[in-house]
Structure 1
């Protein structure tokens, strides 16, 4: 499977279906690992923090979540088939898991959100077993690890703590967690719970999901400013070069 190095982050050049195929293969084989879904903001964080970049690049799957990553790939002449949004990857993965009655644990979001998501997902994916839930407001990691293992573990755990916290959690604790595959999915639990609505399809197709979210949540402007800065750094690299990290 080929990789595309975008500003130091090694993305897997896969489609949504290929990503789900590979994840299912890993789960069935019982190979522990974790999935990351970097957008430009996360790539920018990785550029500034070599340790964070290293743990991102050690993931089993590195999926191009943001349209800015796809634009960067085109500018740099790297091949990526297209976006693989984390929420879409999770949806297809749950569909596949339900067919084999696999177990899923939900970790993250505000109190009550994971439980709401669990109820919705059980209805949407009959056969999917929700092993348990835990909100993201725990005082220390050991509390969360204990909750997962006490629930009997799971084939997959969605870790929705936001970057870089979720990536650090997965990397640090994957060996002690009774979970085969952890997936870092940011705010996806809010979407599954129905507390946050995804952008209309037309925005998604045009690669403007980020703009829709900004309009709905203007306070995100500080974070969104990383996108033009990221693109400027990509263009500078294209024009003037520089070593790959």
Structure 2
């Protein structure tokens, strides 16, 4: 990764991959999927990391941190003159790119998260659309004391790619602990991706995405997200006051 620039926003180092395809190709550049933890960085996660030391440490320990939020991309461009090329890498787009490659190359995949019905739809669609080799799955409803059993299940599956849809910071905590038991995989937190991919939740139209307003669309579609606006406002204050 020596040729990929790194940018620091509020103490978090973020890799400057230009586009989704660039990061997806890099992760498979040597013919085998790299190992480590993939974490999407957006404005809300920056604020959460400042409020939660454990989450901050987990994010810092992640090998691959990429700019998911449009606010993060704008902040990097504001702070660094050589980042004009940078584009947002949406977590769902990166996940789709990796799933296509996993299907084409026979990469074993384990899925964690979502409701049982949603997870079943995701599995069927992945296998039908791209021939993805699903070696195991578990819905997102399990107790803390059941995690060690799930970690062992993932290890025994031999998965090379583990995608975790539990929401932040729960998914980062899960991935970090599972990685200690089974380090031979690439772990990716995917938030609400399973809901979108299964059709349960509608993604923002392309026009909203291009305008950087996907976050607003999600709030309008799911008013329960409104409480998260305070974090976005706090980050905006950092951005416009130059405290990046």
Tell me the TM-score normalised to structure 2 length. Answer: 0.89
2:39–2:189 CA contact under 8 A, matched in 1: yes
- Asked if residue 58 in structure 1 is aligned to residue 61 in structure 2, the reply is yes
Query: What residue is the counterpart of 1:90 in the other structure?
Result: 95
Q: Flag structure 1 segments of 5+ consecutive residues without an equivalent.
A: none
Query: What residue is the counterpart of 1:21 in the other structure?
Result: 25
Alignment of 1:12-51 (within 5 A): 12-14=15-17, 15-25=19-29, 28=32, 31-51=34-54
Query: What residue is the counterpart of 1:135 in the other structure?
Result: 139
Alignment of 1:141-156 (within 5 A): 141-150=147-156, 152-156=157-161
**Matched pairs, number:** 236
- 1:142-169 CA-to-partner distances (Å, cap 9, x unmatched) read 132133234x231101111111111111
Query: What residue is the counterpart of 1:235 in the other structure?
Result: 240
- Asked if residue 81 in structure 1 is aligned to residue 86 in structure 2, the reply is yes
SS of 1:174's equivalent in the other structure is helix
Query: What residue is the counterpart of 2:200 in the other structure?
Result: 195
* 1:234 positional shift: 2.5
* 1:47 positional shift: 2.0
Q: Flag structure 2 segments of 5+ consecutive residues without an equivalent.
A: none
1:154–1:178 CA contact under 8 A, matched in 2: no
1:32–1:181 CA contact under 8 A, matched in 2: yes
* 1:123 positional shift: 1.6
Query: What residue is the counterpart of 2:120 in the other structure?
Result: 115
* 1:134 positional shift: 0.3
Tell me the TM-score normalised to structure 1 length. Answer: 0.89
Relative to structure 1, is the Cα distance of residues 56 and 178 closer, same or farther in structure 2, using a 3 angstrom cutoff? closer
Please report the RMSD computed on the Cα atoms of aligned residues, expressed in angstroms: 2.0
SS of 2:89's equivalent in the other structure is coil
Relative to structure 1, is the Cα distance of residues 177 and 120 closer, same or farther in structure 2, using a 3 angstrom cutoff? same
SS of 2:67's equivalent in the other structure is coil
- 1:189-210 CA-to-partner distances (Å, cap 9, x unmatched) read 1112111111111111111111
The 4+ residue runs of structure 1 with deviation greater than 6 A are none
* 1:42 positional shift: 0.7
* 1:27 positional shift: 7.6
* 1:54 positional shift: 2.7
CA distance in structure 2 between the partners assigned to 1:189 and 1:145 by the alignment: 20
Relative to structure 1, is the Cα distance of residues 27 and 232 closer, same or farther in structure 2, using a 3 angstrom cutoff? farther
Query: What residue is the counterpart of 1:157 in the other structure?
Result: 162
- Asked if residue 99 in structure 1 is aligned to residue 104 in structure 2, the reply is yes
